[in-house]
Structure 1
Amino acid sequence: MKTSHSPSTHPVDRHVGHRIQQRRKSLGLTQTQLAEALGISMQQVQKYETAFNRISASRLYELSQALAVPVRFFFEGLPDPGKQDPARPRNGDPLFHPEANEFAQVLEKEGLVLKGALLMDGKWHRVPVIGNKQGSRSGSYRGFLDGKPNGSIMNYKNGQEAVKWISTGTALGPQELERLKVEANARQAAREAE
């Protein structure tokens, strides 16, 4: 199924929808099974996962119960608004970069499970795939922000060739590209220092 959302969909709504889908799949539930647990239609679950429809606070609470996670699970991976530099625009974060969200959706479609931030640094990153045994990482990806964002995806569990991805968005300008590279390098250095 091709996921789509309007360009005006808020990045947090897309992130929450992605986290719902990620948790549902990690539990081995279908959209229909989750819908039945919530007393809603499968199409409504689909709309929540693709951020086509926004989720009310009470529904988010019900989702947390049905998926056996705390409500904060759906927001993990988002920048902490209390720690955000007010001089830095929110849309400067790669999570809020439409191409990064597009790539994350393709990774998920190919069965890869992202835990944490998507890294668009040109290096291969090993990640679990749906149905992996605990601790196994049978998938990998690498993403590039050079010119028109692109990347490669490998799901070693299904034994298929690498999937090539090219953003459907516009090419990045040189200033935006340089800014994103600097930010990605700073995040990588911070992770390595942890």
Structure 2
Amino acid sequence: MYFKMEYMSPLGPLTMASDGNALIGLWMEGQKYFAATVQEEMAENDDLPVFNDAKSWLDKYFAGGKPVPSDLPLAPAGSAFRQEVWQLLCEIPYGEITTYGQLAKEIAKKRNKPGMSAQAIGGAVGHNPISIIIPCHRVVGSAGSLTGYAGGIEKKIQLLALEGVDMSSMSIPKKGTAL
């Protein structure tokens, strides 16, 4: 059985999902792939310990604190490749960014391969079911393009600004599929 609860954030309502022990989802209203990893009905329950811990984590984050993903029990559902990418996302420090290409290089190195597609990384990043906590908003395109955020570019900008990221050299793409 799965559970859900809503958290009101500065970005608007967030829906949290849990299997009863770990957080399995955190989605923004209208987010692409909303609840895509949950295959059954979720019952409302705002009194689960994991939800209380996640609320505290989010309160601290939105107040300018620097909580880390490992502070919470996380269990995102996805392929081994996606899990590997999401683990790398958890290692991006608060207030810092990386690129899809850099993540591709890191995965290729871990797998002893000569290279990896940045687009494959983008697909895994875009399907991250635990937004904000698994910080996919810290990944940008080459040359600072603010592309590829399932919650919307404006929310990505808000999260990076909250973390104090210098966005003066970043750009918003004029067209593309990941806007």
Bigger proportion of residues as helix: 1
Q: Which of structures 1 and 2 has the larger relative contact order (alpha carbons within 8 angstroms, sep 6+)?
A: 2
TM-score (norm 1): 0.28
TM-score (norm 2): 0.30
Structure with greater Cα Rg: 1
